[in-house]
Structure 1
Amino acid sequence: MTSVAPTGRHPHEPHAEGLASRLNWLRAGVLGANDGIVSTAGLVVGVAAATTSTDALFTAGIAGLTAGAISMAVGEYVSVSTQRDSERALLAKERTELREEPESELAELAGIYQAKGLSAETARTVAEELTAHDAFTAHAEAELGLNPHELTNPWQAAFSSAVAFTLGALLPLIAILVPPVTARIPVTFAAVLIALAATGSVSAGLGGSNRARAVIRVVLGGALAMGVTYGIGQLADVAGI
C-alpha cells in the first residue's frame, strides 16, 4: 500500500513564500505603467492638437516621461521608507517586549490563536511550539501582521515604479511620433485605449475583481484625459499661444 505524505497543500494552489508580496509588486507595476500611459498620452495629445512640430512633440513627451518617472520614484521611495520605518519601530518594540516580558507575550500569542477558534489548551500548545521555533517571527506575524524577513525595500520600490512608468509612457510617445501627421492623434487614441484595456484586465485579474468593469473604468478615464487635453490644445492653437 502506498502512503501519501499529508502535506496539506493542493498542487494547483500557490503557497510559495512571499506570494502576496510579489502579487502586490506586480499590481503596483501594472498601475505604474497605467499612470505612465495616461499622463504621457494626455500630454502629447494636447501638444499634437496645438502643433504639428515633431520636435515639440518629442521634447514634450520626453520631458513628461522623465518628470513622471522621477516623481513616481521619489514618491514611492518616501512612502515605502516611511512605512518601513514604522514597521521597524513596531518590530523593535516587539523584540523588547519578548526580552523583558516573555511570559506575558506567550500568553498574548496564545490568546490570539484562541480568538481564532482554537481551544485554550491547543492555543497554548501552538504558542509554545511557535515560540520555541522562532519567537520573534511568530509574534511579529501574529500580532503585527509583519514578516520581519520580508520588509519592503524602498530603493527597489522606487526603481520598479520608475521603470513601470517609463515603459507605459513610451507607448503613447512612440504612437504620436511614428505615424504621419494626419494619423497621429487617431493612432495614439487607439493604441492608448487598447493598452489601457490590457492593463485594466491584468489589474482586475490580479485583484480577483470584475474584468469588464475594470476595463471600462480605465478606458473611459484614459479617453476623458486625452479628450480634455486635446480640447485644451485646440484652444491654444486657435488662440495662437
Structure 2
Amino acid sequence: MSEPTHEEAHGGALGTRLNWLRAAVLGANDGIVSTAGIVVGVAGVTSDRAALLTAGLAGLLAGSMSMAAGEYVSVSTQRDSENAALAQERRELREQPEAELDELTDLLADRGMSREVAREAAVQLSERDALRAHARVELGIDPDELANPWHAAGASFLAFTAGALLPLLAIVLPPSDWRLPVTVLSVLTALCLTGWGSARLGAAPAGPAMLRNVAGGAVAMAVTYGAGSLLGALGV
C-alpha cells in the first residue's frame, strides 16, 4: 500500500485552518454589523460622545461574550459527541475485532478499492492504529484534532471584538458633524473586505458576497438610524 502524499497528510490540517479563518472573518463581520447598528441607531437620537461610547461598548461586550459563550457550548457539544463515538469504537474494537476489520474493509472498498486491496489496507491500518483508522474512515474524526471549546470561544471573542472596534472608534473619534458619514463609510468598506475574504476562503465569486455584505450592513444601519431618529423626534 502506498504512503499518503504530502498533500493528503496535511489536507486535514489545511481544512481546519481554513475553517478557523472563515469563522474569524464571519465573527468580525458580525461585530461590525451589530455594533454599527447600535451606534448608528443611538446617533439618530443624540450626538453626545459619552452616550455613543457607552452604547458601543455595551454592544461590543454583550456581543463578544454572547459569541464566545455560544461557540463554547456548540463546540463542547461537538467534542462530547466525538468522544462518545470514539469510546464506542474502542469498545467495538475490543469486543469484536474481526467484525470491525470486515467493516473497515467494506468502507475502503466503497471508496473505490478492489476487495483484495481494501482488505490489505484494512489489515495494515488496523495493525498500525485500529482506532485511528476507524475514526478517520468510518467516523470522519481525527482523534488528535478534536475541537477545543476554549480555543473556539476565545477566537470568537477576539474576532467579534476586532470587528466591533471599527464602528465604535469611527463614531466617537471624529468631530460631531463627521461621525455619521465616517462611520457609514468605514463600515461599508470593512464589510466589502470581509465579504471578499469570506468568498476567497470559500473559493466563491467575490462580487456577490461583497454586494450581499454591503447591502445587509447598509440596511441594518438605515433601519436603526431611522428608528433612533423617530424616537428622538418623539422625545423618547
Structure 1 residue 18 corresponds to structure 2 residue 16: no
Instruction: Show structure 1 runs of 5+ residues with no match.
Output: 1-5
SS at match of 2:44: helix
Return the offset for 1:14.
9.4
Deviates more, 1:15-24 or 1:85-94: 15-24
Measured in 2, the distance between the counterparts of 1:181 and 1:212 equals 34
- 2:171 aligns to what? 176
1:67 pairs with one of 55, 62, 66: 62
Return the offset for 1:15.
3.3
Return the offset for 1:32.
0.4
Structure 1 residue 231 corresponds to structure 2 residue 214: no
Return the offset for 1:181.
1.1
Structure 1 residue 99 corresponds to structure 2 residue 94: yes
Amino acid at match of 2:233: V
Superposed, 1:32-181 pairs within 5 Å as 32-181=27-176
- 1:212 aligns to what? 207
Return the offset for 1:9.
5.0
SS at match of 2:10: coil
Measured in 2, the distance between the counterparts of 1:225 and 1:179 equals 22
* TM-score, normalising length: structure 1: 0.94
Task: State the identity as a percent.
Answer: 58
Measured in 2, the distance between the counterparts of 1:25 and 1:115 equals 31
RMSD between superposed Cα atoms in Å: 1.6
SS at match of 1:18: helix
Measured in 2, the distance between the counterparts of 1:92 and 1:17 equals 22
Return the offset for 1:183.
1.3
Measured in 1, the distance between the counterparts of 2:222 and 2:89 equals 53
Structure 1 pair 14–142 and aligned structure 2 pair: CA distance change class (3 A) = closer
Deviations 1:173-218 (A, max 9, x none): 0001111111111110100000011011111111111111110011
Measured in 2, the distance between the counterparts of 1:70 and 1:95 equals 37
* TM-score, normalising length: structure 2: 0.96
Measured in 2, the distance between the counterparts of 1:142 and 1:60 equals 50
Matched residue count: 234
Amino acid at match of 1:214: A
Deviations 1:78-99 (A, max 9, x none): 1111111111101100111011
Structure 1 pair 208–226 and aligned structure 2 pair: CA distance change class (3 A) = same
Query: Which of structure 1's runs of 4+ aligned residues deviate more than 4 A?
Result: 6-10
- 1:203 aligns to what? 198
Amino acid at match of 1:208: A
Instruction: Show structure 2 runs of 5+ residues with no match.
Output: none
Measured in 1, the distance between the counterparts of 2:45 and 2:216 equals 22
Return the offset for 1:221.
0.4
Structure 1 pair 78–7 and aligned structure 2 pair: CA distance change class (3 A) = closer
Amino acid at match of 2:89: E
Structure 1 residue 194 corresponds to structure 2 residue 193: no
